Structures are given as C-alpha cells and as structure tokens.
Amino acid sequence: MAPAIYSATRRQLSLAYQEFAGPEQLSPEEHRTWEAARAATEFSYAPYSHFHVGAALLLADGSLFQGTNQENAAYPSGLCAERTALFGLAGSRPTPPRLVGMAVAGRPAAGAFGAALPCGACRQVMLEYELRQGAPIWLLLPSVQGTVLRFERLADLLPFHFSAEDLPPRA
C-alpha cells in the first residue's frame, strides 16, 4: 500500500516591533508611561513569587492608570498587573476611555528591573480592549537583554486570538 500524500499550504507570519537600547530613546509620552509602569511595581502584592509587576495605561486624554500584580495564597486567585489595570479602568468608568498605549515593568523584591512579558491570558484580555475600541494600542515591554520592545498594536502579540466572531450565533 502506498503512503498517503497530504497536501498543505505553507504560510508564514511575520512580527514587526521596534527595539530601543533604553527608555531614554522613547517619545515623551512613551517614557512617561514606561516610568509609571515601573513606579507601579511599588504597590504590587507579591509575597509568594517576590516578583513585582506594574502596568500603566496611557489614555487618550493624556492621563495614566496603573495596575499591579496581586497574589494570593490560593495561587489561581491572584491576578496579573496588566489585567488589574485594564479591569480596574473599565470598572471605574461608565464608558471605558480610549487607550493609546501601555507599558509593563517587572522586578524581583531585591533586584533590578528585568523582563516582564505578558502571559497568554493577559494577551487575550489586552487584545479584547484593542478590538473593542477598534484602534491599535501600542505596548512597551522590557526584554531579557534589557532593551525596550515597542509593539505598534496588541494584536501582534497574539496572532491566533479568540474573538467575538469565534462565538456561536446567539439564539
């Protein structure tokens, strides 16, 4: 018996982002958002991991909204900084304001700032906000090498995402 021959179309994704040697190369509004994320780490509750994460959201009116990771002895009950910022903002306003950008920062309890990359759940939630507003949200992340990564839109972090179009029609 001859082996089955499968036909597939090969596709390729490409990811575009900017890499800056340091935050001093960012625009003034990006730098302010970056520093707000770093400052937010001071309010993190991380008695178990000892890794403090802060997130800062830049709103269209120029104001900033911060969030931090909140841990719990029942580990699944904690929440990441990105989601506390987004959920806190949405929960504090009758109409969520337009988000222009966001930044994430992380540091150990006793140490220098380092990489802090959003988990899959945070990426999905972040993207939902971008899809809701119908406009891109830029993102600043610290890399493992100590550089600053800038993404033009959150969709670049989660190319195969789940959205409202994936849900079955409502009866």
Q: Is 31 in a helix, a strand, or coil?
A: helix
DSSP one-letter code for 111 = S
Tell me whether residue 42 is one of the annotated catalytic residues: no
The answer to whether 118 and 128 are in contact (CB under 8 A) is no
What's the rounded Cα separation, in Å, for the pair 141 and 59? 18
| Options 24, 30, 42, 82, the catalytic residue | 82
Structure tokens of 29? 């509004």
Q: Is 135 in a helix, a strand, or coil?
A: coil
Q: Would residue 115 be called left, alpha or beta, if left means φ above 0 and alpha means ψ between -120 and 50 degrees?
A: beta
Q: Which residues are catalytic?
A: 82
